[in-house]
Amino acid sequence: MAEFRFEFVAPNEIREAIIKRESGKAYGRIRIKPATVLWKPANYSKYFSVSLEEFAAWITDPSTRARRVDR
């Protein structure tokens, strides 16, 4: 098989989504990477970052009142 000079490579981001309000305006962006979760509110130029371990500890803490869902 022939060798190629270029190749397709998956991006570092696993998933990025824009979260919108009911009015249709952007609320912010969330980006999930293999080791971090990033959040950027609308009209901000930089992301806030937290490690996946810190996020997991926070979301499972009873004080957050996060609920388990069947999805």
pLDDT digits (tens, 9 = 90+) for 13-26: 568 899 999 999 99
Does the pTM surpass 0.85? The reply is no
pLDDT over 90 (residue 45): yes
Cα–Cα–Cα angle for 5, 13, 42, rounded to 5 degrees: 130
Tokens found for residue 49: 């970052």
The percent of residues above 70 in pLDDT, for the chain, comes to 93
The Cα angle at residue 32 between residues 28 and 34, in degrees rounded to 5 = 160
CA angle 10, 15, 17 (to 5 degrees): 135
27-49: b (≥16 Cβ within 10 Å) or e = ebbebeeeebbbebeeeeeeeee
Instruction: Please tell me the predicted confidence (pLDDT) of residue 7.
Output: 78
